[in-house]
Structure 1
Amino acid sequence: MIKRNTVFAVLIGILSMTGMALADETPPSPTMWYWHNWSDHDGISHMTRCPIRDFDLKTMSKPAGPQWQNRLKEGPAQVIFTVQPAHWNGVWHPDPKVQWIIPLKGSWYVTAMDGHKVVMGPGEVSLGEDQLSRKDQQGRIGHDAGNVGVGPVELMVIQTDETPTSDQPCRFK
């Protein structure tokens, strides 16, 4: 007859080899990603894919269970919902404020002055921070943005009171 402790030890070993965790074990901290549209010291905008990693496992409101949270910065913000009509194109322009942009429906693109174009769909996140960009020889400033496809695009925009920076890609972690 096999002892219960032996079976339990074998089960733990199998779970650890397969990467599975026991229910009461804390899962590893997650990594999320966002696109950062930032400007360098020459005033040229760039798109960089950035990780968010500094999560804490805690409740937002008791008695709700804990969830991974990363509070980037406290401060005033304004939430704006936008619906860009079909075939919308924003032409070259800088973001009005440091702002987080999350597509809710449809896909849109952002092209930085360095030529890097990123297409984003529902659930992807972009940080617009190209206010310090300057016109280049082609007359471009900031970024070009527009809809992908034939339908409208719904976005949630969270404008912050952050001061724009230069030469700091991925400054929020």
Structure 2
Amino acid sequence: TRSQLPGFGSKSVGGGAAPQWLRPFPGEVLGIQFAVLPVGWVGDWHESPHPQWVIPLRGRWFIETGDGTRVEMGPGDIHFGQDQGTTDARGHRSGQFGDAPCFQMLVQFAQSPAASVAHPFGHEASR
């Protein structure tokens, strides 16, 4: 079956490269940071410092929301955090899990480019 990729377009990145599916993500990038979460590290309740993509490169981490939902992620997963301005600055809990540190890349934005979008790739992308 063929997957739906709303907002993506097929194009070459140049030269002799075959086309690939690309989608721009709007917004002013504030900076890119790399983080290492040591084994056992937990960030108790906090908000993301900026709207940001969290991209685990190696190891595993979790994020827990105020309703108790916990999502565990590792390489191949991405998370967009935009919980600034939450009630009582509660935000979320996050931390490393497993027996190895978690290495992450954070792409931070000046403002949330997706504040009105529940899932930046649309619900069809997961089919």
Pairwise TM-score range, normalised by the shorter structure: 0.7 to 0.9
Identity of aligned residues (%): 34
- Secondary structure of residue in 1 paired with 2:15: coil
Which of 69, 82, 85 does residue 132 from structure 1 map onto? 85
Task: Render the CA deviation track for 1:114-146: whole Å, top value 9, x for unaligned.
Answer: 2111001111000000002112xxxx7000001
Q: Give the count of matched residue pairs.
A: 122
User: Which residue number in structure 2 is paired with residue 13 of structure 1?
Assistant: none
User: What are the equivalent positions in structure 2 for 1:2-21 lying under 5 Å apart?
Assistant: none
Q: TM-score, normalised by structure 1?
A: 0.62
> Residue type matched to 1:157 in 2?
L
Q: Give the conservation status (yes or no) of the 8 Å contact 2:11–2:22.
A: yes
- Secondary structure of residue in 1 paired with 2:25: coil
Separation in 2, partners of 1:127, 1:164 = 11
> Residue type matched to 1:133 in 2?
T
Decide which structure has the larger Cα Rg and report it: 1
Distance 1:56-1:126 versus aligned 2 partners, 3 A rule? same
User: Which residue number in structure 1 is paired with residue 55 of structure 2?
Assistant: 102
Q: Which runs of 5+ in 2 are unaligned?
A: 123-127
Separation in 1, partners of 2:113, 2:92 = 15
Please report how far the alpha carbon of residue 163 of structure 1 lies from its aligned counterpart in structure 2 after TM superposition.
3.5
CA RMSD of aligned residues (A): 2.3
Does 1:144 find its partner at 2:93?
yes
Name the structure, 1 or 2, with higher relative contact order (CA <8 Å, separation 6+): 2
Q: TM-score, normalised by structure 2?
A: 0.83
Please report how far the alpha carbon of residue 168 of structure 1 lies from its aligned counterpart in structure 2 after TM superposition.
4.7
Separation in 1, partners of 2:13, 2:101 = 34
> Residue type matched to 2:43 in 1?
G
Does 1:161 find its partner at 2:110?
yes
Separation in 1, partners of 2:114, 2:72 = 24
